[in-house]
Amino acid sequence: MINANNPSLKSWIEVSSESDFPIQNIPFGIFKLGTNSDGRVGTRIGDKVIDLSVVAELGFFAELNIDISVFFDSSLNGFIGLGKDVTRAVRERISELFQDGNSEVKNSDELNRIVLDVDQVEMLLPVEIGDYTDFYSSEQHAYNVGCMFRDPNNALLPNWKHIPVGYHGRASSIVVSGTPLHRPKGQQKPNDDEPPVFGPCKLLDFELEMAFIVGKSTELGDSVTTADAEDHIFGVCVFNDWSARDIQKWEYVPLGPFLAKNFGSSVSPWVVTLDALEPFKVAGSKQDPKVLPYLEFEGDKNYNINLDVIIETAEGQSKQVTRSNFKYMYWNMCQQLAHHTANGCNINVGDIMASGTISGPEEGEYGSMLEISWRGTKPVPMPDGTERKFIHDGDSVVMRGFGEANGIRLGFGEVRTKVLPAKG
Ligand code: MN
């Protein structure tokens, strides 16, 4: 076992039993302190953010013999680019410094520069994202959408169980949790017998997804095998792939998602490493028909992570509308990456690859309003007496992810996005 994952470890920083950030987590993120400062690299334990640039500057990483300038960067790309041997050693060293019984940092004169209250800092986008890909890897989601738009008897297209279907998204509009988004405008065709119209999207939706961050680049022409894939995945975040269903419906044939998707996607700020997620691994569902050899894999590659979606009204009344789970993925991340690079497509550190909407088999486990309200036919009652078929202006959508294993709760925190009215 990786030492930092040892469930018996405790930190000298207080961690409540409800926290997503026990000492076994040690995620990485970019934060800034005050309006004038630049972003730098931090980690989190309980409700404390730890400034790793100060930890490094004070020499606590000296024995690792690494270029500590990466901790002063405003993205994780430099740090991640040091490679998994190094980032793993840093995580292990942080675990050592902050566990009960170790007073190296605890007794430091600079403790107040190292350990910050989470309320003191602003979290920024964790990586500089070169490219973003979104998959479509939850069978229940693909089935539900197929039922609604085609036919329950042929809900899955013939390629779906052979290919981890995906599309290339837009990296420029990915924002970190807390960044509000304006309702998109676009072309829609609400009435089959009339010409299209232009205006604010009326069917604004979320998509509950997880996203992995590429940790190791490849050369053009190279392919990553499923066996090597984990070496190329640094960590995972919760991801909301905002979707404009009315724009999507009119535009998506023949080339797929475009303006219905690229107006914004929201990502949680803390990247939880694949190492930290190791105890949450579970088997996925059996893949039948048998996949082609380049998509075969060994071992458990799914993760038992509960995923919640909450809608909060402008007045602050909230309702949980979904509890799904990352384990419901039909195609796992290793298969997605193997498929993405099978043709020689190169990948770069900081690229984001999102899972696709993750829906479970039961009602109550669906990952989008499209499915929850079944195209608007089953509105969701809200505590204030209103109802939701899709997302209203002023609503905030909050997604959270956490798992429990060996008595340890470990999670991702949240990705929260408020919807503002369309601009202009
Ligand atoms: Mn999506």
Chain Cα centroid distance, residue 235: 9
Residue 231's pLDDT is: 98
Compute, in angstroms, the gap from residue 76 CA to the centroid of ligand 1. 24
The active-site residue out of 141, 232, 339, 340 is 141
Give pLDDT tens digits for 59-105.
999 999 999 999 999 999 999 999 999 999 999 999 999 999 999 99
- The answer to whether residues 247 and 188 touch, using CB atoms and an 8 Å cutoff, is yes
Please, what are the domains in the chain?
29-124 (2.30.30.230), 132-420 (3.90.850.10)
Compute, in angstroms, the gap from residue 6 CA to the centroid of ligand 1. 34
Query: Model confidence at 395, in pLDDT bands (50, 70, 90)?
Result: very high
Respond yes or no: is residue 340 known to be catalytic. no
Query: Model confidence at 2, in pLDDT bands (50, 70, 90)?
Result: confident
Compute, in angstroms, the gap from residue 406 CA to the centroid of ligand 1. 32
Give pLDDT tens digits for 29-49.
999 998 878 999 999 999 999
| Amino acid of residue 349 | V
**Mean pLDDT of all residues belonging to the chain:** 97
State the DSSP string of 373-405: TTTTTSPEE-TTS-EESSPPTT-EEEEEEEEEE
User: What gap in Å lies between CA 311 and CA 254, rounded to an integer?
Assistant: 33
Residue 149's pLDDT is: 86
State the DSSP string of 331-350: S-HHHHHHHHHTT-----TT
Give pLDDT tens digits for 199-236.
999 999 999 999 999 999 999 999 999 999 999 999 99
* pLDDT(1) > 80: no
Strands (E), 241-300: 243-244, 265-267, 272-273, 281-282
User: What gap in Å lies between CA 321 and CA 323, rounded to an integer?
Assistant: 7
Compute, in angstroms, the gap from residue 206 CA to the centroid of ligand 1. 9
pTM: 0.98
